[in-house]
Structure 1
């Protein structure tokens, strides 16, 4: 009888211990959660885009020998512009470097009455311009602030008209003028590959002597013309390549 009671007690004790032991064996060890990964925009890659906005070209005319020498005054040639750009950027840390070529059609027109030759109106029109620049900027993820500088070229036309009738008195050949440019821009990447921005540029164009001929072909005037241009454009770019990189 005692042996039966001892066996029974042993079985009861074993039954009480077994579930707890099974639970201990099934418990999973604690593992640390992996670190979070942040998606950061990468500005590296080729891009192409369009732009449009407003520009103002300021021209100062000075008559030179062999004609009467003196200042004829200045005027602003204002109007709209539309064009495109293509470039490449590469990013190192937060710094972004780039090269870009931009070409625009323009319609900047203006005039003033000549201070030296009463009765005549001097007119200027900028029909196109191009920019070839390097860039340096700093990116805060999808926001990029950059500065640019390089070479600029404009395509201009100059006319002298009668103040009384508006008839053409003399014109120049189409004038291609080279100079330099500096600018600043702010760009925001709003979708994978896509970015939009606003940019300001100032063009320092070289002084040059422009000869004017009458409709009959006779040389009737020569002016030393000084020109600079201010531009404000809105830009839309598409960048080729992966839009983000993973960083811990």
Structure 2
């Protein structure tokens, strides 16, 4: 079992179909993964698959032509299922390097965008899945202490 929390700066954007020249932007500031893992180890290498839950903190914005903020959803914390695979290599006592792929299933959901003047506009659907590749440097705390004489 594993829990990991990460600050992030994931951004994406696309053209705004309602306002020609405008942009719809999404930003994820943080995510957490709570997963179980199963894998196979040989010598100092571990190959594993994982699955569980993810939590993300995401904001969607409408930008007017020229980039001025027209409206925003504010930050929304959402729970979603996640799956992934990884490969980890232990290179020293307690230390390992790994690479991991994760897919977060973030379905679209209804959103209310609020203008800087405080006017809310409802009826939009936002969201989408997130794919990410993480590089990891791990240190394992604890474990048996073996006295040598």
**Residue in structure 1 matched with residue 55 of structure 2 by the alignment:** 153
For CA contacts below 8 A with separation 6 or more, give which structure has more relative contact order: 1
**Residue in structure 1 matched with residue 12 of structure 2 by the alignment:** 110
More helix by share: 1
1:212-231 superposed matches below 5 A: 212-231=113-132
Deviations 1:140-183 (A, max 9, x none): 121111110000111111111111x3211111121112111111
Structure 1 residue 117: Cα displacement: 3.3
Contact 1:192 1:243 in 2 (8 A): no
- CA–CA separation in structure 2 for the residues paired with 1:243 and 1:236: 23
1:137 and 2:17 aligned? no
Q: Give the alignment's TM-score, normalised by structure 2.
A: 0.89
**Residue in structure 2 matched with residue 93 of structure 1 by the alignment:** none
Q: Give the alignment's TM-score, normalised by structure 1.
A: 0.55
- CA–CA separation in structure 2 for the residues paired with 1:221 and 1:167: 20
Superposition CA RMSD, Å: 1.7
More strand by share: 2
Structure 1 residue 134: Cα displacement: 0.2
Aligned length: 145
- Name the SS of the counterpart of 2:17 in structure 1: coil
- CA–CA separation in structure 2 for the residues paired with 1:221 and 1:121: 18
In structure 2, runs of 5+ residues without a counterpart are none
1:7-46 superposed matches below 5 A: none
Structure 1 residue 132: Cα displacement: 0.2
Deviations 1:21-70 (A, max 9, x none): xxxxxxxxxxxxxxxxxxxxxxxxxxxxxxxxxxxxxxxxxxxxxxxxxx
1:234 and 2:139 aligned? no
The structure with the largest alpha-carbon Rg is 1
**Residue in structure 1 matched with residue 107 of structure 2 by the alignment:** 206
Structure 1 residue 221: Cα displacement: 4.4
